[in-house]
Structure 1
Amino acid sequence: MTCSAAGRSATTRQRWREWSRGLIGACHPVPGIVVTSLVVVFAAGVGVRFGQVVLLGAAVLTGQLSVGWSNDWVDAARDRAVGREDKPVAAGTVSVPAVGLAAAVALTATIVLSLLLGTRPGAALLIGIAAAWAYNLGLKATIWSGTTYLLAFGALPVAPYAALPGQPWPPWWVPVVSALLGFGAHCANVLPDLRADAQTGVRGLPHRLGARVSGVVMAVALAAASVVLGIAPHAMPTAYAVTSASAGIALAVMAAMFAVRSPHSPMAFRLALVIALLDVVLLVAVTNVV
């Protein structure tokens, strides 16, 4: 191999690596991995069979990929307008058509995988995906932005129950806790982008409330999820109820402090993820007792 051919080969490999990193970054990997992991843990905890857990995890993961890629695909022009160098599409690391194609492929995969789970669990997952895509396609700029998170996360825990033999419905407080966590995460996730969103005309519910009020609303939603989880299940020890509610409230207050003092910091969102992890572990513990 000549020096020039070797140089071209090295350049090609470098471009592929950059393109791959850009595509991975554009899928919003952290929330996608967290949501998928929590659903898998929850499904295994409530007794879903191993094969179904794997299929459920694959359906949720591809759905999260489709949501992340479609977000950057739809927002490409806005991200470029405000100089979002942290976004691979805006930075030019990966092209808009490539991200759009990846979103379409992932969406197709999640539809197929969801339906393979069965009608009811598949419908629950696809309702959530539809809500998330509706958010990306325009509802994020309206007062209904939070509603999409309530619907998407409220439907999410229905799928593991529907994948169980007999397809039972979850106790009412399971989707309520999940919906509250999703709504709180929405407020926390939007806070760092308020300034950039304002420049491009995006005015979802947190934008209309403002950074400080959104921080308080976020804390109330996250704390309420822990309180419901602590008091709603019957026949649980008082110590459990107090511990669950207290831990959630304490973490929610910490998240609110970060949101109010440094609304453009990602710390509030990270604490929201910690609260979600704690509540999912407690959900698994509770559903194996009640």
Structure 2
Amino acid sequence: MPVRSPAFPLPTVPVAGLLRSCHPLPAAAVTVFAAVLAAAAGRGAAGTALTAGAVAAGQLSVGWSNDRLDLRRDRAAGRRDKPLATGGVPAAAVTAAALTALALCVPLSLAAGPAAGAAHLTGVAAAWAYNLRLKGTAASWLPYALAFGLLPAFVTLGLPGAPWPPPWLTGAAALLGAGAHFANVLPDIADDLATGVRGLPQRLGPRASAALAALLVLGSAALLVLGPSGHATPYGLTLLALTAALLLATAGAPGRIPFLGVLTVAAADVLLLLTRSAAQATPW
């Protein structure tokens, strides 16, 4: 018996629009950062892949929920770079994608062990709290600091004996997360204020937020360089000098340039972790 075509075409979801709605660049950067931490800590290929999968699922859920919850504000601000705001992807599809990614994040996180899973899911919950409420408060920086600061714990608590990461590594990750928040918000401050979003960067203004972003990220790099041994190697000193120069050059730049500068510094930090773990029997 022949199968009839439906009277109405089935809805399709534009894959490109869905991908753009997940904040792909930050999601990829955080996932790579977590994977490098796992590899440097000796989690092995399977453990590193599991870490990356859990973090990727969490980041996708956060990115999609952010755009979905900001839909009205993005439309009011005329955001042409947001597929949801322009009608390029259905809101229901983004909602379903966010919830699916969140559902996958839970077992993937807990597969690393109960303590490790709890650490990562606490970070994901903090990011969702930012999207749901804290984005418009003076505590907008806190979910970023908490979520990033718990990433090293997610990695190390999955090791035999479930050790906590060293304080300098937790501090460096937390400072990097807070700095990324201030840098990421910079180009949207005017639109945010117009639509009622008053997080800490919006309250401080662009100039102060740019300076604070640079100081936080520089502090993160300094902890990575000085934390393990208390003194800087020639590579570490070079990294700090280049970090300071890059942040100084990009802090007052327009658009997403300050945020890209933060990502560049994060990539240098990742390289530092890799070189250190390659030179030592234990990475930290």
Q: TM-score, normalised by structure 1?
A: 0.89
Q: 2:201 aligned to 203, 206, 226, which one?
A: 206
Q: Partners in 1 of 2:29 and 2:180 — Cα distance?
A: 12
Question: What are the within-5 Å matches in structure 2 for residues 169-208 of structure 1?
Answer: 169-208=164-203
Which amino acid counterpart does residue 269 of structure 1 have in structure 2? Answer: F
Task: State the identity %.
Answer: 45
- CA offset digits 1:45-92 (Å, max 9, x no partner): 221121111111110001010000000110011111111121011010
Partner of 1:274: 264
Q: Partners in 2 of 1:117 and 1:74 — Cα distance?
A: 30
Q: Partners in 1 of 2:166 and 2:274 — Cα distance?
A: 12
Partner of 1:116: 111
Q: Partners in 2 of 1:122 and 1:165 — Cα distance?
A: 14
- CA offset digits 1:192-235 (Å, max 9, x no partner): 11111111100101000000000000010011111122222117
Q: Partners in 1 of 2:241 and 2:137 — Cα distance?
A: 34
Partner of 1:26: 21
CA contact (8 A) 1:33 1:61 kept: yes
Q: Give the helix-richer structure, 1 or 2.
A: 1
CA contact (8 A) 1:59 1:113 kept: yes
Q: Tell me how many residue pairs correspond in the alignment.
A: 275
Q: 2:67 aligned to 72, 81, 89, which one?
A: 72
The alignment status of 1:286 with 2:276, answered yes or no, reads: yes
Partner of 1:250: 245
Q: Partners in 1 of 2:170 and 2:123 — Cα distance?
A: 12
Structure 1 residue runs of 5 or longer lacking an equivalent are: none
Which amino acid counterpart does residue 265 of structure 2 have in structure 1? Answer: I
CA contact (8 A) 2:141 2:178 kept: yes
CA contact (8 A) 2:182 2:209 kept: yes
Runs of 4+ residues deviating >4 angstroms: none
Question: What are the within-5 Å matches in structure 2 for residues 1-290 of structure 1?
Answer: 16=12, 19-234=14-229, 238-258=233-253, 262=254, 265-287=255-277, 289=280, 290=284
- CA offset digits 1:98-150 (Å, max 9, x no partner): 21111111101101111111111111111110110000001000000001111
CA contact (8 A) 1:226 1:249 kept: no
Which amino acid counterpart does residue 279 of structure 1 have in structure 2? Answer: D
Q: Partners in 1 of 2:179 and 2:206 — Cα distance?
A: 13
- CA offset digits 1:147-199 (Å, max 9, x no partner): 11110100011111112222211111101111111111101100111111111
CA contact (8 A) 1:39 1:57 kept: yes
Q: TM-score, normalised by structure 2?
A: 0.91
CA contact (8 A) 1:227 1:244 kept: no
RMSD across aligned positions (CA): 2.0
What's the CA shift for 1:255?
2.5
What's the CA shift for 1:286?
3.1
Q: Partners in 2 of 1:211 and 1:21 — Cα distance?
A: 31
Q: Partners in 1 of 2:210 and 2:73 — Cα distance?
A: 24
CA contact (8 A) 1:26 1:69 kept: yes
What's the CA shift for 1:283?
2.4
What's the CA shift for 1:247?
2.4
